[in-house]
Every structure is written in C-alpha cells, then in structure tokens.
Amino acid sequence: MAVGVFDSGLGGLTVLDAAAKRLPDVPFVYYGDNAHAPYGVRDADDIYDLTTKGVERLWAAGCDLVILACNTASAAALKRMQEKWIPSHKRVLGVFVPLIEALTERQWGDNSPPREVAVKHVALFATPATVASRAFQRELAFRAIGVDVEAQPCAGVVDAIEQGDEILAEALVRSHVEALLRRMPKPDAAVLGCTHYPLMEHVFQDALGVDVRVFSQASLVADSLADYLARHPAILGKGSESMFLTTGDPKSVSKHAAQFLGRKIDFQAA
C-alpha cells in the first residue's frame, strides 16, 4: 500500500515529510533522480524521458499512485504522460493544482468559472523550465481573473542545494528576489513553485519581507493527497516498505538530505 514520490533530487523530500506526517500509516517510496538534477535547465523531451523512467521504477516498487513532487516535471511532462502513457489502473498526480486552489481559495474539484480572488499581485519563483512552460499562469487562468503574475526563473538555486552549498543557494535566492521586486515592488503573495525552495523558505521570506504571504507546496500537497486517498482507497499499490531511492551516489545524497532536512535519511541505489 505504498505511495511513490518522485523528484529530480532532494526537493520532493519537503513534500514527502509533510505527507508522511499527515498519513503516518502509509509507506512512501521516494525516488530522487539526483544524477540528472537539475531538470530546470533541460528541454521538455528530456524531462519527459527522465520522469517516465523514474515513475516506472516507482511502479516496480509497488506504488500504483505516484506524486510528481517536482513542478518542472509536472509542468513539462505530466500532461503528455496523462494523455497517452499512464495505464488506467495507475495514477500520477502533479503538485500545481493544490497550490493554485489554495491561492484562489477553492475547495478540491471546484470547477466553477474563474472569479476575482483576494490576491492581485503574485510573485512566482520557479525553475527556468517551469517559468518557460507558463503552466502556472494557465492553471491560474482557469480559476481566477485579474491576477497579475510576475515570474522569476531562479537559475542555479536547485544546483546549489543539490551540491550542498547553502551559502551559494542563499545568495542566489536573495538576488532572484531582488530582481523580481524591481519589476513588482509590492506582491501580496509569493509562490515557491519548486519543491526545492521550501528548504530555503526562511531566506525567501526574509528577502520578501513579512507583509508578503509565502505559499509553499509541502503541506498543501499533503492535504490534497490525504483527501485523494480518502476518495480512492483502492489506488494504494502493493508495496509495503518505505524506502529512499536515488540515481546519484547514495552516500553523498544521504549527507546532503540530512544537511537540509535536519534528520538522517538512508538513500539506496535506484
């Protein structure tokens, strides 16, 4: 009855931690494609090939339901996967929709026409591939009108986190926030549209100031997963053991995971 969690690297651990806390009886199998991170600078075909490979590995581990805890894969590959690749007895869910539902004050599955919402000026921080896809703006336009989105492609941040270089990651976050604030001086809300960024959330909040509400995905996705499982209990696959798989070097990935998450995680080779 395990659920699979996929990311290009360490970022999806932020989602996994929140989901495991919300659903303590569900085993989770994590797959970090650390050997190929960052995805944010790759093209859509490349991201599709890497993501489908990772999802197949999670299916093989007994997870019929896989969460793409990666905005870049959700933006660049998920639609294509859902259209013609995923068999009918498996599910792959992305991380965009729960975030946008929270931002637009909607309950799950509220498909009513787009309407005015409280936030008017939204700062989006994401990888270059996610920003280029405009998937966030597309999903938002289905639900809200009159929201101005300014997007900042945050080149280098995922790489710095994957390398365990916190000082560089912090400097890059501050310079990306400054660049965005030059174009949108007073956002009401900021969206961390990459699951690596909650690992630097305190830096985003500090650089943005206390008046900006920061939305990050971990708890929103965990709540939405709990809701999905309550409605579709049969989707839990036959896997019964939690594990952490990586395509990278398990020793160094485990070390960087402990550094950013503050707890010991033992990765094994995927």
Binding string to ligand DGL for residues 14 to 53, with x set by CB under 6 A, is what? -----------------------xxxx-------------
94 binds ligand DGL (CB under 6 A): no
Selected binder of ligand DGL within 65, 103, 158, 190 (CB under 6 A): 158
Q: Find the shortest distance in angstroms from Cβ 241 to ligand DGL.
A: 24
Residues with catalytic function: 70, 194
Nearest approach, Cβ of 28 to ligand DGL (angstroms)?
A: 16
Identify whether the C-beta of residue 22 lies closer than 8 Å to the C-beta of residue 226. yes
Nearest distance from C-beta of residue 77 to ligand DGL, angstroms: 11
The minimum distance between CB 40 and ligand DGL, in angstroms, equals 3
Tokens of 142: 């289905």
Q: Which is nearer to ligand DGL, 12 or 239 (CB)?
A: 12
Taking CB under 6 A as the criterion, the residue among 18, 70, 169, 221 binding ligand DGL is 70
User: Which one, 40 or 237, has the nearer CB to ligand DGL?
Assistant: 40
Q: Residues binding ligand DGL: what is the number (CB under 6 A)?
A: 17
Q: Which is nearer to ligand DGL, 20 or 236 (CB)?
A: 20
Residue that the structure tokens 């599910």 belong to:
91
Instruction: Give the separation between CA 64 and CA 79, rounded to whole angstroms.
Output: 18
CB proximity list for 213: less than 8 A, separation 6 or greater: 188, 189, 190
